[in-house]
A = this chain, B = another copy of it.
Amino acid sequence: MNIYDIAELAGVSIATVSRVVNDSPKVSEKTKMKVRAVMEANHYTPNVFARGLGLNSMKTVGIVCPDVSDDYMAGSVAYLEKRLRSYGYDCILYCSGYEYEDKAAAVHLILQKRIDALFLVGSHYAGNGSGEDVDYVREAADTILVFLINGYVRCPGVYCVLSDNYQAVYDAVSALTETGKKGILFLYDSNSYSTMEKMRGYEDALKDNGISVTEDRKIFVQNKILTVRDMLLEKKDLEFDAVAATDDGLAIGALKYARKKKLSVPGDISIIGFNNSELSICCEPELSSIDSRSETLCKTAVDSMMALLKGRPVRHKKVVPCRLVKRRTTNF
């Protein structure tokens, strides 16, 4: 059942049917009714390909993230999808993995789908501390609207929405020092843009509170609870009385360490996580965590897209403050 059939059955031309489908104002209400009736009766649905060919758009956006099975990204993708759907957009999902080649390949591939916009979820697309290239993001921006969720790339055409990770960690670590903590560990598991921001916050907070930054207290470790615990267990000669982690999983690894060593939390050791995931309330004691408000980030990004599509200007960088959720692993 195609547009010709409907046209014939309704006794009009295909142009009129097309206009009705697109709710064009220049069709009389009467004709619209008639045509709609025929369409309904025959369960007609326009062929999206043919339509795409004509319009060169399918009202589809691409969402690329390293891994949807990650809690943080899953939440972001869920929210993006929901909001985009509410505007009538479909979402093509692409999980790229974390490697540079894979990320670049994913972006290249998805660009060929003639999507209307590209959403990059997670700051892994903003390069890493080791000066990783983000050329593929820049290239994408030449072709298409790109939105970077929780990362920043200075480039016209790339609209960045990010949470203020620097300030959040700065404040948390400062608060830790104010409760008398001196040996504060920084646990991280990537070199992404946001992680580097968190690290800056950690370092500045220490400095501003008269504590010197030592490299051995900044620990890079895989985000597996038991791996973190065991790693900590092995650092016999490292003294610390608090840990700030860039992710709840890392923080819980520290919690497991404390338990193993029979250290009291937050007395002997204070712990603060990041992302305020479900993990943070399932451990014991419950974990204080920084909420990066990913829903707000996603909402902002989608709304920016709609604004841009309507020709309204949008800032290239929007920063949303984080929110500290105080629970039992800290004294403040």
A-side residues, CB < 8 A to B, are 45, 47-50, 52-53, 56, 58, 60, 63, 67-71, 74-75, 77-79, 81-82, 85, 90-95, 112-114, 225-226, 249, 252, 259, 278-279, 281-284
B48 and A112: CB pair below 8 A? yes
> In the bound complex, how far is the Cα of B225 from the Cα of A113, in angstroms?
42
Contact partner of A225 (CB less than 8 A), chosen from B78, B81, B92, B282, is B282
A91 and B90: CB pair below 8 A? no
Nearest-neighbor residue (CB-CB) of A295 within chain B: B69
Count copies of this chain in the complex. Answer: 2
Known A-B contacts A78-B67, A90-B113, A249-B278; the reply to A53 vs B58 at CB < 8 A is no
Could you give 19 example pairs across A and B, Cβ below 8 Å? A47-B53, A47-B114, A48-B112, A48-B114, A49-B53, A60-B92, A63-B93, A69-B74, A69-B75, A77-B93, A85-B95, A90-B94, A92-B92, A93-B93, A225-B281, A252-B282, A259-B284, A279-B279, A282-B283
A114 and B49: CB pair below 8 A? yes
**A189 vs chain B, min Cβ distance (A):** 14
Chain B residues with Cβ below 8 Å from A58 are 49
Max chain B C-beta neighbours (<10 A), residue from A50, A63, A114, A282: A282
B281 and A226: CB pair below 8 A? yes
Nearest-neighbor residue (CB-CB) of A279 within chain B: B282
> In the bound complex, how far is the Cα of B52 from the Cα of A47, in angstroms?
10
A85 and B91: CB pair below 8 A? no
Chain B residues with Cβ below 8 Å from A281 are 225-226
Max chain B C-beta neighbours (<10 A), residue from A56, A94, A278, A284: A278
B94 and A85: CB pair below 8 A? yes
**A38 vs chain B, min Cβ distance (A):** 17
A113 and B48: CB pair below 8 A? yes
